[in-house]
Structure formats: C-alpha cells, structure tokens
Amino acid sequence: MNAILPTLMTVDEFLRWSRAQDRGRYELERGRLVVMQAENARHVRTKLRVVNALAAAIKRANVPYFAMTDGMAIRLPGQRAYEPDASIAPLPEPPDDAMELSNPVAVFEVLSPTPKSVRRDLTEKVVGYALVPSIEHYVVIDPEERAVLHYTRRGDYLVPPAATVEDLLKLESIGIDVPLEDMLGPKPSEV
C-alpha cells in the first residue's frame, strides 16, 4: 500500500532527499512524499519484460529513441515527480548521474495488486502525465488480467482507449509496434 508522509517538498528537494535514502521507492504528489509499496515477483518480471520488449521494438524499427526502466523521475507541474515502471525518450540518453528524465514521449505503469495503487495509476497519474507536453502515450499494464490500456495525447489530455489493446501495441508517433506477448509473457495454457 502507498503511504503519504506529511512532509511538503519541491521536486528539487525531493530529488536531493531521495538521493540520500538507503532504500525504498518514493514519488512526490502535490509536495507530499508517497512511499511506493513493495513489489511481488509478477510485477518485477512484468516490468523487466516491458523494458526488454520496448528496447527490442526500438532496435527493430531503428528509431532514435531509448527505453528506460524505473528509477528515473518524471518532473510534473504542481510539485509532482513520478517514477514510471518504464519509459521511452528520444536520444541522447541522460548522463549517468541524472535522476530525472526530462523529455519522455511514452510512460508505462504496471498495475500493483492493491486497490489504492490501481486507483492512483488510473486517475491521478493520467491527469499528472497529461501535464507533461512531451508525453504522447501513457500505457497501463495489468499483468493479472493480461490487459493493456493505451492512453494517447489529444491536445492537453491523455485520452483513454475505446478498448484494451489486443495483440500489438502501436506507438505510431515513435514508429514502433510492441507485441503484447513480449510484454506479458506467453499466455498461460488453457486447461
């Protein structure tokens, strides 16, 4: 479960503070720290598959982008900093000591199994990521249901999909297609 701590911070203060932490994962929501929940094996495996699938799709398409795993903060207006599970940004890659990704074009969240986290990914983060003009795609992945929701930019908003993605995630503005099986692993055998 995510816990909100009572400390108000700017994004710069948050980045300095988080650099000094020995462990834990955090985000900033309207100046308040949000402690991210511990992750189960399914969540971690899915994040790894997603980043590997994105990197492979970028390589196949030979486009000037790179995929990044979680750990890089995305700065948002309103004293917010999110740490997506994966992201895509244009080359060049940030320097080794960078803590934030300044120009992502796509961000990915893998749903955690708690209602509060799911609600945050499907509400606050949709609104927050829409405030970053460079973000054209917000993709929410539910590994348990094997569902992928692809929000796309329309003006100032990230518009929800009419339906879940079936077999292929098309990120047309980036020039890549990502097979869902690459992100979610093989479908379980039907009994």
pLDDT for 162 equals: 86
Task: Specify which residues 138 forms β-bridges with.
Answer: 107, 151
Was domain 40-75+83-184 assigned CATH 2.30.130.10?
no
Give the 3-state secondary structure of residue 118.
Answer: helix
How do residues 73-89 score in pLDDT, each as one tens digit? 999 999 999 999 999 99
**Mean pLDDT, rounded, of the chain:** 91
Interval 4-54: pLDDT, tens = 555 689 998 998 888 888 888 888 888 888 888 778 898 999 999 999 999
Please tell me the predicted confidence (pLDDT) of residue 27: 86
Q: Cα separation of 44 and 155, whole Å?
A: 33
pLDDT at 191: 41
Whole-number pLDDT of residue 66: 98
What's residue 190's pLDDT?
54
Q: How far is CA 14 from the centre of its chain?
A: 19
